[in-house]
Amino acid sequence: MVEVTINGQVSHFVEGTTILDAVRASGGELPSLCHDPRLKPCGSCRLCLVEVVGIDRPVASCVTPVAAGMDVRTHTPALERSRETLLRLLAARYPTGAAEALPNKEFHRWLARYGVKAAGVNEPTAADESHPYIRVDMSQCIYCYRCVRICAEVQGQFVWRVQNRADRTRIVANSGAPFGLSQCVSCGACTDTCPTGALTDWQPLDVGEPLSLVRTTCPYCGTGCEIDAGVSGGRLRSVIPVQDGPVGKGHLCNKGRYAFEYVSAPDRVVHPMIHMGDNWLEVSWPEAIRFVAERLKRIRDQYGPDSIGILGSARATNEENYIAQKFARVVIGTNNIDCCARVCHAPTAAAMSAMLGAGAATNSYDDIERARTILVYGANPTENHPVIGARIKQAALRGTPLVVVDPRRTELADYATLHLQICPGTDVALLNAIACVIVAEGLADIDFIAARAGDWEQFQQFIREWQPERVASHCGVAHEDIRAAARLYAKGKPAMCFHGLGVTEHTQGTEGVMCLVNLALLTGNIGKPGAGVNPLRGQNNVQGSAHMGCEPDHLTGYQTLSASRELFETAWRSPIPATPGKNLLAMMDDAALGRLHALWAIGYDILPTNANSWQTLRALSRINLIVVQDLFLTETARAAATVFFPAASSFEKDGTFMNAERRVQPVRKVIDPLGESRPDWAILCAVAAAMGHPEGFEFESAEEIWNEIRSVWPAGAGITYRRLEQGGLQWPCPDESHPGTPLLHEERFSSGPRVSLRRIEWRPSPETTDIAFPLRLITGRTLFQFNCGTMTARTQNNFWRETDTLDISAGDASRYGLSTGTKVRVVSRYGSAELPIRVSGSVRSGDVFATFHSPRVFLNGVTGPHRDNTTATPEYKITAVRLEPL
């Protein structure tokens, strides 16, 4: 700490603190225009100059660190005069009226504060209005370059460029094309930092600045960025990043920042409805609840509790998912409860809990900056977890070696030291070969293995057979590259692995993740900062919904039914059914055989998202009672539901989400539930009461539910709502003085002191290409749309991505006589779908890629029946197809 005097006041600061930060930290106000804490300081605007006793000339406070004994003056008459002069110079050319239109912009605030009026001409022609969310008017640019810097330094997109020099300097979107057509990923960072009216969101221009901000958590992906939601007139108006959010650190992606219009979409369903004849009839809540309660009772009495299945929601809160599984087990009396972790990272949870004792990410996002090598395995974070993707991209730009394993050339592959463009479904072979190199070349961490890993002898024996030369042709990767990847990962410690669905959504999904854990164990990359095995979990609360017990074999806290039954029976004062529960896939199998009579799907649109949709449709159509609880009439609801319960969105209720780094974060009510919609937990509790089981479901608030969760989940016991006010807590957090756990398995594994290396044989996918089906379809996602599309497709994100496309290599396209925009029929052994072609350099000849976001395309009409051999997760990543012209 150094002692500094600021305007006569003595204070202490950490060494390296800049004068500007010191002044602001001690509550002082100091104008600046080029500064943003998210950026490297540049000291160019001269507004933050201060006088330091003993130094002749004023210094730029944003680039000058404090020093012991420094005596700083921030507001001498000379400094204030020079600030006013600077502002006058800038205002001379600044359009009149611009400052009044957006009084909250930084430059506009300083103009007002120093009593300076803009005197320039308005040049409306300078405006670029081609972007759906951002208005550009460079006649209001003051050349602070914050947009250029944030786009490069935070998002890594390099859209904004400086053109020309001196008087003719202009800032333009790359290539000078209209901004809306540029490489912009619409993260909003530039408008967020722009201190003038040059870059602004349309929102405040259209509907005015919000009157208040409510801090909550983003409703989209498992990254879990905190957001400030702007409200006025009882409506959600804007979203901006929380500057001190532990995850986003003042950054968001397009969806979190802008794609919230779904909340007030005109077709949001806001009344309970019952399907009668060919129509949906709006009914009252008591009517809808009575109807469902009676039908469920009747079905339970007639066919038994296991003829009913419930699906929790990866989009709803922890509290709601806790109630969903408690409802299934206590009120219905079945373990038939699942959620869409099943089709996603269930293999990760299974593999990691089997091997390490905890089924969740070992490390935290903050380790990205600590890692000395990053392995991105079967994941596409710049599109699917963009805030994490941007951090990984920045690490690569700084020179951290990056290895990407993906059959497609993803954006990160462009930044990678090494991209292994693997043939889909050959990961176990490839990972074994990497392990083989690590062992054979003496790169294994023998001390770590001796202390903490078992079955080392047997593993060495086994892995010897997996030389890269043997697997290279199966994997479609050069054996030299496999060796190079092994060396990068094993030598550049700590090495951090992020993985995604490219590993899990396969017949060997669970085993693939086990192979990744093997690599971390072999190299001692576990239990250390900057290392570990880290699944990039899918939705906002998919980690939480499974963790709360929306899984047939697990109770809250991922505690197994077999081990924790007694704890829960005591807490719930109710027996827990003994019959093993069915997962989603098994429920569908049962339904197809006429054995599942009721299904309650909460925030999960299974028809378009489950693989092999036609089979799903056949199954659904045999179920007597389907209740869909959602914001919208989903495809499942349209095709097969009898009752629709309108749920409140995450902006309309309190609760918590759990992100992919095990962080529990608050979800706060920003606006009232739209229409008659209700929080999911309230609906479940009302049905419990109507079924004659109010006890255990008489909650008044989400916090009351959370406190019950804490009482049955020892590793979460210390996470109170009050503590969450300070920015979320990572479990394990066993008591209220525990700080939370950013890093797992440090001294010992969750399951004990030693864990075993796994010997896993590679078994090729049963889905093979042949003359009739010569191409391999890979499915996945894209930046601007989200999963079943119910939310993003109701926003202006359609501007960038109106429909799913079939990405094909240029060579294959010309072979089939196809070009971008041509519509084709993709046909598999299971069904077909029609969608336009997009010729793309990202896929290899023989592979095609498509997203599954658009209900018009219904891509899962094409995918097949194969499943992970441990968790039943569908093999979405490989389907043999052919293309037919239309």
The residue ranges that bind ligand MGD (CB under 6 A) are 221, 313-316, 340, 343-344, 377-380, 383-385, 405-408, 410, 422, 424-425, 427, 500-503, 505, 536, 538-539, 602-605, 609, 629-632, 634, 647, 649-650, 680, 778-781, 783, 785-788, 790-791, 852, 859-860, 863, 876-877
Q: Which is nearer to ligand MGD, 525 or 860 (CB)?
A: 860
CB-based contact 631:677 (threshold 8 Å): yes
Burial class (CB in 10 A: 0-12, 13-18, 19+), 46: middle
Q: Which is nearer to ligand MGD, 335 or 410 (CB)?
A: 410
Q: Taking contact as CB under 5 A, which single stretch among the options 535-543, 741-749, 774-782, 876-884 is the one that binds Mo ion?
A: 535-543
Burial class (CB in 10 A: 0-12, 13-18, 19+), 266: exposed
Q: Determine the Cα–Cα distance for residues 125 and 788; give it in Å rounded to an integer.
A: 40
Q: Determine the Cα–Cα distance for residues 399 and 467; give it in Å rounded to an integer.
A: 29
Q: How far is the CB of 426 from ligand MGD (least distance, A)?
A: 7
Q: In what order do the strands lie in the sheet with 655-658?
A: 655-658, 663-667, 729-730
632 binds, among ligand MGD, Mo ion, none (CB under 5 to 8 A by kind): ligand MGD
Q: How far is the CB of 51 from Mo ion (least distance, A)?
A: 56
Q: How far is CA 523 from CA 435, 443, 533, 638, in A?
A: 9, 7, 12, 51
Q: How far is the CB of 572 from Mo ion (least distance, A)?
A: 29
Chain-centroid distance of CA 476 in Å reads 30
**CA-based Rg of the chain, rounded to a whole angstrom?**
28
Q: How far is the CB of 863 from ligand MGD (least distance, A)?
A: 5
Q: Determine the Cα–Cα distance for residues 168 and 143; give it in Å rounded to an integer.
A: 11
Q: Which is nearer to Mo ion, 538 or 544 (CB)?
A: 538
515 binds, among ligand MGD, Mo ion, none (CB under 5 to 8 A by kind): none
End-to-end CA distance of the chain: 72
Q: Which residue is nearest to Mo ion (CB)?
A: 538
Give 3-state DSSP helix, strand, coil % of the chain, rounded to 5: 35, 20, 45
> Which alpha helices (DSSP H) does 718-757 contain, by range?
721-724
Q: Which is nearer to ligand MGD, 384 or 400 (CB)?
A: 384
Residue ranges in 177-206 that form contacts with Mo ion under rule CB under 5 A: none
Q: How far is the CB of 219 from ligand MGD (least distance, A)?
A: 6
90 binds, among ligand MGD, Mo ion, none (CB under 5 to 8 A by kind): none
CB-based contact 650:317 (threshold 8 Å): yes
Regarding 538 and contact with Mo ion (CB under 5 A), the answer is yes
Regarding 312 and contact with Mo ion (CB under 5 A), the answer is no
Q: Which of 98, 171, 331, 344 binds Mo ion (CB under 5 A)?
A: 344
Q: Which is nearer to ligand MGD, 41 or 673 (CB)?
A: 673
Q: Which is nearer to ligand MGD, 547 or 781 (CB)?
A: 781
What dihedral do alpha carbons 244, 247, 251, 254 form, nearest 10°? -140
556 binds, among Mo ion, ligand MGD, none (CB under 5 to 8 A by kind): none
Give me the count of residues in the chain. 886
DSSP string, 543-599: HHHHHTT-BTTEEGGGEEHHHHHHHHHHHHTS----SPP--HHHHHHHHHTT---EE
98 binds, among Mo ion, ligand MGD, none (CB under 5 to 8 A by kind): none
Residue written as token pair 């806290």: 557
Q: Which is nearer to Mo ion, 156 or 538 (CB)?
A: 538
Q: How far is the CB of 406 from ligand MGD (least distance, A)?
A: 5
Q: How far is the CB of 789 from ligand MGD (least distance, A)?
A: 7
Q: How far is the CB of 695 from ligand MGD (least distance, A)?
A: 24
Q: How far is the CB of 655 from ligand MGD (least distance, A)?
A: 9
Q: Which is nearer to ligand MGD, 145 or 876 (CB)?
A: 876
781 binds, among Mo ion, ligand MGD, none (CB under 5 to 8 A by kind): ligand MGD
Q: Which is nearer to ligand MGD, 425 or 716 (CB)?
A: 425
Q: Which is nearer to ligand MGD, 334 or 380 (CB)?
A: 380
Q: How far is the CB of 188 from Mo ion (least distance, A)?
A: 24
Q: Determine the Cα–Cα distance for residues 713 and 547; give it in Å rounded to an integer.
A: 10
Q: Determine the Cα–Cα distance for residues 448 and 459; give it in Å rounded to an integer.
A: 15
Q: How far is the CB of 255 from ligand MGD (least distance, A)?
A: 6
Q: Determine the Cα–Cα distance for residues 721 and 710; give it in Å rounded to an integer.
A: 11
Residue 97 contacts by C-beta under 8 Å, 6 or more apart in sequence? 118, 122
Q: Which is nearer to Mo ion, 342 or 669 (CB)?
A: 342
Regarding 337 and contact with Mo ion (CB under 5 A), the answer is no
483 binds, among Mo ion, ligand MGD, none (CB under 5 to 8 A by kind): none
- What sign has the CA pseudo-torsion 13, 18, 23, 24? negative
DSSP string, 296-344: HHHHHHHH-GGGEEEE--TTS-HHHHHHHHHIIIIII----EE-GGGGT
CB-based contact 255:220 (threshold 8 Å): yes
Q: Which is nearer to ligand MGD, 783 or 837 (CB)?
A: 783
SS3 445: coil
Q: Taking contact as CB under 5 A, which single stretch among the options 104-112, 182-190, 341-349, 526-534 is the one that binds Mo ion?
A: 341-349
Q: How far is the CB of 785 from ligand MGD (least distance, A)?
A: 6
Kindly list the residues in this chain that would bind Mo ion in the complex (CB under 5 A): 344, 538
